[in-house]
């Protein structure tokens, strides 16, 4: 797969390749960074995040937090936050501090379905001197996936 560049497009052939690409991205991340992961249902967003979280030192189960919005995991980098905003229609009726516990200076955060809160996510990343990394995932036939990383 090679080293990831600032803008990179990669392809994976199976779930283990998708997880390995997540791990490769994790090597470039630091606490305060926020990774926005977009793609259709079933494309492997959680598999990608699981690979990254393992690389960052998370032990134990890593599952999609669809029904609880987010989870924090202890990691060798401090913490890894995994959010899934699929169930939110907008941030307008949500507590303004909904994301604050997950996007902190000591955590690398991964956000599935981030568009509902894109501005807030970018603001929180900047407030912790973190970077925003965008990952676009798409089906490419069979188990093959296309990933664009910016």
107 falls in which pLDDT band (50, 70, 90)? very high
CA distance 61 to 79: 15
Q: What pLDDT, in 10s, does the model give residues 48-92? A: 999 999 999 999 888 888 778 899 998 998 899 999 999 888 888
The predicted pLDDT at position 2 comes to 43
pTM, two decimals, is: 0.91
Average confidence score pLDDT of the chain:
90
22 falls in which pLDDT band (50, 70, 90)? very high
DSSP letter assigned to residue 48? H
Greatest Cα pair distance in the chain: 43
Q: Which is it for the CA torsion 118, 64, 80, 146, positive or negative? A: negative
The predicted pLDDT at position 29 comes to 96
Question: Which element (helix H / strand E) includes 26?
Answer: helix 15-26
Q: What are phi and psi of 52, to 5 degrees?
A: -65, -45
77-105 b/e (C-beta count within 10 Å ≥ 16 → b): bbbbbbbbbeebeebeebeeebbeebbbe
More confident residue, 91 or 30: 30
The predicted pLDDT at position 7 comes to 65
Fold entry, domain 10-86+99-134:
Rossmann fold (3.40.50)
Q: Where are the domains of the chain?
A: 10-86+99-134
């Amino acid at each position: 797969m090679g080293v990831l560049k600032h803008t990179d497009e990669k392809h994976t052939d199976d779930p283990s390749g998708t997880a390995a690409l997540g791990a490769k991205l994790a090597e470039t991340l630091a606490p305060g960074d926020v990774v926005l992961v977009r793609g259709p249902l079933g494309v492997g967003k959680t598999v990608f995040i699981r690979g990254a979280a393992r690389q960052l030192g998370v032990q134990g189960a890593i599952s999609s937090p669809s029904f609880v919005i987010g989870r924090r995991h202890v990691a060798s980098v401090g913490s890894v936050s995994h959010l899934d905003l699929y169930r939110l229609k907008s941030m307008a009726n949500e507590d303004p501090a909904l994301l604050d516990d997950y996007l902190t200076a000591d955590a690398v955060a991964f956000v599935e379905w981030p568009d509902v809160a894109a501005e807030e996510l970018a603001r929180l990343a900047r407030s912790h001197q973190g970077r925003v990394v965008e990952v676009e995932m798409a089906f490419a036939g069979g188990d093959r996936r296309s990933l664009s990383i910016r």
